[in-house]
Each structure stands twice: as C-alpha cells, then as structure tokens.
Amino acid sequence: MRKSYLDNIRWITVVLVVIYHVVYMYNAEGILGVVGAITDVRPQYVDIYMYVVYPWFMSILFIVSGMCARYSLLVHSEKEFIRSRTRRYLVPSTIGLAAFQFIQGYLNMAIGGAFDTMGHVPKAVLFGIMMLSGTGALWYIQVLWVFSMILIPVRRIEKDRLWKAGGKINMPVLVAMTAACWAFAQILNTPIIAVYRFGLYAFMFFLGYYVFSHDEVIELLKKRFLPLLIVACILGAAFCTVYFEENYAIEPVNRTPLFTSYCWFMCLAVLGGMAKYGDFENRFTRWMGSRSFGLYVFHYLGISVFALYVAKKRIMPVPAAYLLTLICGFLAGYLLYAVISRIPFFRWAVLGIGKGKEKKNVQG
C-alpha cells in the first residue's frame, strides 16, 4: 500500500521549491544567473527564506526517492525498475531538453545576458548551449537516475544484508550519522555546477533505501519528532544568523558542519513529523500529489518569463512582483503539465509518461 506521508512530503517540498525559486530569482546575495534584486533595500530580509530551506529540501527528496525505490522493487522486477526509471528520469532530462526545455535554456541565457557575447556562435552550437542551459531543475532527476542504476548492482551484491542491518539502527546511531552527513558532503561535488553533489545526495538516497524504508526506524522518528524539530530549528536559526548574505550554495558554506547538521536533523524531523501527522490523503492531497512532478518540471519557466519581461523593468511594487511571479510559477507548472501530458511524444519526451498503466498502490 502507498504511504501517504511520502506523497505529501514530495508535493509540499515541490511547493517549497517553487517559492524558493521566486526568492532566488530576485536575491540580493550576488548569486549569478538570475534577475537579481528588484529593490534597493539592504539587507534584503526576504532572502532568509533561501537559507531556511536550501540546506535540506533536496536532501529530503532524495531520501524519499530512496525509500520509494525500495517499495517499488518489492513488486517490480529489476528490468521493469530500470525501464521505468529510465523513462521517467533520463528521458525528460536528455531528450526532453531538445523537445522542450531549450525554451527554458533561452530564458536562462537571456536573463544572464549570455546572448550579448554570442553573436558569432553558429546557430547549431547556440542551440546545443540552450539545451544544456535548459537543464535547470532537471538536475535532480538526472542524479536520481544515476543512483537508481547504481542501486541495482549494489543490491545484487549485498543480497539484502545491508537492508536488514539498516532496520536495527537506533536513535543514537541516527544522531551520530550527523558526522557521516558532513563527511559525504565533502566528496564528489562538481567544481562548477554546485547542485551536483553526488556524495551528499547518494548518502541520502541509499539511506532512504536501506534505513528509512524500515517502519521500525520511522516509528523511532515519530516518537522523537519534537526534540528533533527543536534541534533542527536551533541549528537552522544558527545557520541563518552566521551565513546570511553569504553564498549558501557553494563552497565553503555548503560544506560546513552547521550546513550539514541542520540538513540532517531537519530531514529526520520532516520524516518523523510527516509520518506522525501527515500520513493521510484527501481530494486535495491527491490532486497536489498527482501533479507535483509537472509543477517541478515547468514552474521555473513561468517564473523566468515574468521576471525577464515584467519584473526586471521595475514597473510595479515589489510585493506585487513577488506575488505575481509566484502565481506565474504555479500557473506554468499546472497548465503546461495539463497540456503536454496529453500530447503524444511530448508526454513521453518531456514528462516520461509511458503508454501502459503502472501497478496501482505502488510507491514510485
């Protein structure tokens, strides 16, 4: 049976991502590739939101994905798992770039002023650059596909011995894993594109598969939810206080003990809290959950269009610009998903939707 709290974690986190990208688009912290601040007020306190969510919200998605990989492989063969993950993750983040996401690439380059220096570049090369630039938020499913493929030979070798050991982990060990979280955050980080953190996110994904997929471990987190949340909030407040107005997304900030410990305890608190209080579904949660992937894939397009062609000109009050950008993000996400999910070829190339029906009640 599906675990409703995992579906709820995913769609709520995607909503947080949409809000994050609105604040990120107009940040005053010197992060490149965006419109930047549309107000002259400094410091720009709305930017604190980025520091609150960035250290942990992608990590929790990788944990949930690892858990769902375990549940999926209980009812699907490895061949079926590889085929479905390749269609859902690899196809949209490769073929989808040429089929649709080059539009996002164009907007990203226009926002960054790249076309000002590319007049001499051949059109074919320019289109290739636009495709790569259009990867955007799809880096997540690219990395997720890599981990999913690595998982198959790993589980063949360990033959569930690691998974059985994962079910015996207790609370002191989970707390001690704060150090392991920091250690993995130091390795396999790409030098230019900071979001590709293979060490940290592999740690989260495989713990999701081998540890957090055990109901016994989730019960521990449910019982300790309140103290975990208190510790996470203290660490989060400390992180925001120490590093506000510094670039949180790159070295050295994103590899500090404060960054990783906040990340770890917040992930534990989210899992415990949502398992305790968010394990339910209704019409609204089902609607949000069924469209969360489309919102994730398309939201930044709406944000980018409004930011580039309207907000950048500073023709409206700043609060209105933020609010309308947020609305455009949600509208683009839901409307484009509704349209493209119904168009042959594009539904496969851009969203990874296959022709056949998958088994119901399987966490995927």
Give the pLDDT of residue 5: 98
Please write the tens of the pLDDT for every residue from 254-280: 999 999 999 999 999 999 999 999 999
Give the pLDDT of residue 358: 47
Task: Provide, rounded to the nearest whole percent, the portion of the chain with pLDDT above 90.
Answer: 90
pLDDT at 92 over 90: yes
Spell out the SS3 assignment of the chain: CCCHHHHHHHHHHHHHHHHHHHHHHCCCCCCCCCCCCCCCCCCCHHHHHHHHHCCCHHHHHHHHHHHHHHHHHCCCCHHHHHHHHHHHHHCCCCHHHHHHHHHHHHHHHHHHCHHHHCCCCCHHHHHHHHHHHCCHHHHHHHHHHHHHHHHHHHHHHHCCHHHHHHCCCCHHHHHHHHHHHHHHCCCCECCCCCCCEHHHHHHHHHHHHHCCCCHHHHHHHHHCHHHHHHHHHHHHHHHHHHHCCCCCCCCCHHHCHHHHHHHHHHHHHHHHHHHHHCCCCCHHHHHHHHHHHHHHHHHHHHHHHHHHHCHHHCCCCHHHHHHHHHHHHHHHHHHHHHHHCCCCCHHHHHHCCCCCCCCCCCCC
Give the pLDDT of residue 355: 78
pLDDT at 359 over 50: no
Greater confidence, 118 or 173? 173
Give the pLDDT of residue 117: 82
For residue 342, name the pLDDT band (cuts at 50, 70, 90): very high
pLDDT at 119 over 80: no
Report the pLDDT averaged over residues 135-162. Answer: 96
Q: Token pair for residue 293? A: 């992937």
pLDDT at 357 over 80: no
Please write the tens of the pLDDT for every residue from 309-335: 999 999 999 999 999 999 999 999 999
Distance CA 16, CA 331 (A): 15
For residue 360, name the pLDDT band (cuts at 50, 70, 90): very low
**Residue-averaged pLDDT of the chain:** 95
- Produce one character per residue of 72-90: b if its CB has 16 or more CB atoms within 10 Å, e if not: bbeebeeeebbebbeebbb
Please write the tens of the pLDDT for every residue from 2-20: 899 999 999 999 999 999 9
Give the sign of the dihedral formed by CA 313, CA 315, CA 319, CA 324.
negative
Q: Token pair for residue 297? A: 């894939």
pLDDT at 51 over 60: yes
Q: Token pair for residue 79? A: 């061949």
For residue 125, name the pLDDT band (cuts at 50, 70, 90): very high
- CA neighbor of 78 nearest in space, from 151, 177, 172, 179: 151
Report the pLDDT averaged over residues 231-238. Answer: 98
Greater confidence, 2 or 233? 233
Give the pLDDT of residue 245: 93
Please write the tens of the pLDDT for every residue from 183-219: 999 999 998 888 999 999 999 999 999 999 999 999 9
Give the pLDDT of residue 143: 98
Give the pLDDT of residue 1: 62
pTM for the full predicted model: 0.95
Give the pLDDT of residue 118: 80
